[in-house]
């Protein structure tokens, strides 16, 4: 009887994990959210180096933070308080060197909506379409649309990296890195930044293979729905230990094509600390970085991923039927997820903070206070440890890496301003005391 009970419990846990992690989509939980993302009326109204310390796989999962990392920065705390107090559509700016946070000027917001309203006409901002990997890939490579070129290059440790290159006859290269998913999921940026040469790429482990439920060795390729759209080879995923080599390989391969005046990086989620590591490893790799949903602790990300069942908000029905606040459930969820995905995330201890402390180039952070993966303590750690004198933070109310879909026009405006202007001029462009120049001028 005890064996039967254990078997039934294991099967129920497996079913819960599959149903909540691999079937629902992180990007959009329902059709209403898709409509909200596309509604302008709603918003208008309202690194080479390898560091890594292995730990025993049986060691208990640890979500504790170093108390030294959580020393409060007065400016950041004021920014978070302001974000809680102002209206939902308002954007709070926290900038190093400023005594107080400030709001993005309303005239700037209206200017951005008018200047970049054409972005709403693009299918590349519909999350439902972005999930259709093959269709997006074909769309991006059609000459009458974007004429993207599929390219394959090799890293210094022998991994093959696939990327898509968009040549706009620009002397500036923008490298886009996404979460641990197919490169097509960040296709929105190909449209958003049409003035630059753009590169999107797959990190090692993201592949286009199919899995079979009858072949356990291919189960990792069945992960698609909430992570990637085609397949994930978990054995190749090192969670930042060596993935900076993927970034270096792509940028170096692009440099072989032409000489660029500037190279910028825009990284979301998984790619953010990897881009930081690449920038520190090769100090002249990037001129500026935009980091959306940046994190430093894999423990914290995994804990929040498990506790939210793959990104479900507290109001989601999953939290009402599953004991998501129990440590035993979180541990079991992570254990089963590791077995299915084949990513050995419980056995990897990796600290990105030393790289943040060495980052000297201008950095723009973007964070949504409704982010279920990146906690405010994680944000505090990121902000405190980045040593760049020219660092700024955009605070919105949105969920993890939803900002470019929810506020696409403003995202375009503040990104172009940050990349093309000096630091102080960038801040003034958000205050409305000056209008940003056109890209390329």
Q: Is residue 146 part of a domain?
A: yes
Q: Average pLDDT, stretch 400-409?
A: 91
Q: Is residue 263 part of a domain?
A: yes
Q: What is the pLDDT of residues 255-280, one digit of tens each?
A: 999 999 999 999 999 999 999 999 99
Q: Is residue 37 part of a domain?
A: yes
Q: What is the pLDDT of residues 335-349, one digit of tens each?
A: 887 777 778 777 776
Percentage of residues of the chain with pLDDT beyond 70? 75
Give the closest residue to 426 by CA, choosing from 93, 99, 172, 107. 93
Q: Is residue 234 part of a domain?
A: yes
Q: Is residue 156 part of a domain?
A: yes
In this predicted structure, what is the pLDDT of residue 297?
A: 81
Q: What predicted TM-score, i.e. pTM, was given to this entire model?
A: 0.81
* Domain tally, the chain: 1
Q: What does the mean pLDDT of the chain come to?
A: 80
On the CB side of 263, CA atoms within 13 Å amount to 21
CATH code of the domain covering residue 48: 3.40.50.1820
Give the closest residue to 194 by CA, choosing from 122, 254, 135, 242. 122
CA–CA gap between residue 398 and residue 411 (Å, rounded):
13
Q: Are 39 and 408 in contact (CB under 8 A)?
A: no
Structure tokens at 164: 């898509």
In this predicted structure, what is the pLDDT of residue 30?
A: 38
User: Is the predicted pLDDT of residue 96 greater than 70, yes or no?
Assistant: yes
DSSP H helical segments within 38-179, as ranges?
40-45, 74-85, 106-115, 127-130, 133-141
Q: Is residue 129 part of a domain?
A: yes
In this predicted structure, what is the pLDDT of residue 70?
A: 57
Q: Average pLDDT, stretch 79-84?
A: 89
Q: Is residue 439 part of a domain?
A: no
**Band of residue 41 on the pLDDT scale cut at 50, 70, 90:** very low
CA–CA gap between residue 327 and residue 307 (Å, rounded):
9
Q: What is the pLDDT of residues 312-331, one digit of tens each?
A: 666 677 777 888 778 888 88
In this predicted structure, what is the pLDDT of residue 238?
A: 86
CA–CA gap between residue 185 and residue 177 (Å, rounded):
10
**Band of residue 402 on the pLDDT scale cut at 50, 70, 90:** confident
Which residues in 106-134 are b (16+ Cβ under 10 Å) and which e?
eebbebbbebbeebeebebbbbebbbebe
Q: Average pLDDT, stretch 4-15?
A: 51
In this predicted structure, what is the pLDDT of residue 10?
A: 53
**Residues in contact with 11: Cβ distance below 8 Å, sequence separation at least 6, in sequence order:** none
Q: Is residue 111 part of a domain?
A: yes
In this predicted structure, what is the pLDDT of residue 439?
A: 61
In this predicted structure, what is the pLDDT of residue 49?
A: 34
**Residues in contact with 399: Cβ distance below 8 Å, sequence separation at least 6, in sequence order:** 311, 313, 368, 370, 371, 372
Torsion of CA 55, 56, 58, 59, to 10 degrees: -40
Number of helices (H) and strands (E) in the chain: give both, helices first: 18, 14
Q: What is the pLDDT of residues 291-308, one digit of tens each?
A: 999 998 887 877 877 777
Q: Residue 402 belongs to what domain range?
A: 2-431
């Amino acid at each position: 009887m005890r064996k039967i009970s254990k078997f039934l419990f294991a099967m129920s846990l497996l079913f819960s994990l599959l149903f909540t992690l691999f079937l629902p989509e992180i990007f959009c939980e329902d059709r209403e959210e898709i409509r909200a993302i596309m509604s302008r009326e709603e918003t208008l109204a309202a690194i080479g180096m390898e560091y890594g310390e292995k730990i025993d796989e049986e060691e208990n999962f640890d979500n504790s933070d170093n108390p030294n990392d959580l020393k409060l920065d007065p400016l950041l705390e004021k920014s978070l308080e302001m974000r809680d107090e102002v209206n939902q559509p308002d954007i709070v700016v926290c900038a190093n060197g400023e005594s107080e946070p400030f709001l993005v000027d309303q005239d700037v917001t209206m200017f951005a909506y008018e200047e970049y309203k054409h972005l709403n006409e693009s299918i590349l901002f519909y999350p439902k379409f972005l999930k259709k990997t093959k269709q997006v890939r074909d769309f991006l490579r059609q000459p009458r649309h974007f004429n993207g070129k599929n390219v394959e290059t090799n890293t210094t440790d022998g991994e093959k990296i696939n990327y898509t290159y968009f040549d706009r006859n620009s002397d500036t290269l923008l490298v886009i890195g996404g979460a641990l998913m197919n490169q097509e999921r960040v296709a929105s940026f190909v449209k958003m930044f049409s003035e630059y040469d753009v590169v999107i790429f797959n990190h090692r482990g993201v592949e286009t293979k199919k899995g079979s439920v009858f072949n356990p060795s291919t189960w990792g390729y069945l992960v698609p729905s909430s992570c990637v759209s085609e397949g994930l080879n978990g054995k190749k995923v090192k969670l930042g230990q060596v993935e900076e080599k993927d970034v270096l390989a792509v940028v170096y391969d692009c440099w072989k094509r032409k000489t660029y005046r500037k190279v910028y990086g825009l990284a979301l989620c998984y790619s953010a600390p990897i881009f930081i590591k690449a920038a520190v490893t090769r100090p002249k790799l990037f001129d500026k970085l935009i980091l959306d949903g940046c994190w430093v602790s894999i423990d914290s990300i995994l804990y929040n991923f498990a506790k939210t069942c793959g990104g479900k908000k507290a109001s989601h029905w999953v939290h009402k039927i599953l004991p998501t606040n129990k440590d035993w459930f979180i541990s079991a969820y992570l254990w089963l997820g590791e077995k299915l995905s084949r990513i050995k995330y419980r056995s990897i201890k990796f600290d990105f903070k030393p790289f943040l402390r060495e980052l000297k180039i201008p950095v723009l952070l973007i964070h949504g206070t409704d982010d279920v993966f990146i906690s405010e303590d994680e944000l505090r750690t990121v902000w405190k440890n980045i040593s760049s004198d020219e660092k700024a933070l955009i605070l919105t109310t949105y969920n993890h890496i939803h900002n470019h879909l929810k506020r696409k026009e403003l995202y375009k405006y503040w990104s172009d301003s940050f990349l093309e202007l000096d630091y102080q001029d960038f801040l003034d462009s958000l205050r409305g005391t000056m209008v940003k120049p056109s890209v390329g001028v």
